[in-house]
Amino acid sequence: MKSIDRVFPTGLCGVIRTDNADVAFQACLAAIEGGIGTIEVTTTVPSWYEIIRGLIGTTLGKIPIGVGTVWDPGAVGEAKEAGADFVVTPVVLPEVAEACHKHDILCVLGALTPTEIYHARLAGANLVKVFPVGPVGGPDYIRALQGPMGGVPLWASGGVEIDQIPAYLRLGVKAVGLTGALFPAEALARRDTAAIHERASRAAQAAAAARAD
Extents of the domains making up the chain: 4-212
CATH number of 4-212: 3.20.20.70
pTM here is 0.96
Q: What is the mean pLDDT of the chain?
A: 97
Residue 213 pLDDT grade (very low, low, confident, very high; cuts 50, 70, 90): confident
Write the pLDDT tens digit of every residue in 123-163: 999 999 999 999 999 999 999 998 888 899 999 999 999 99
For residue 63, give the amino acid letter.
Answer: I
Task: Assess whether pLDDT exceeds 90 at residue 211.
Answer: no
Q: CB within 8 A of 55, min separation 6: which ones?
A: 25, 28, 29, 32, 39, 41, 63, 65
Write the pLDDT tens digit of every residue in 50-92: 999 999 999 999 999 999 999 999 999 999 999 999 999 999 9
Q: What is the pLDDT of residue 197?
A: 98
Q: What is the pLDDT of residue 130?
A: 98
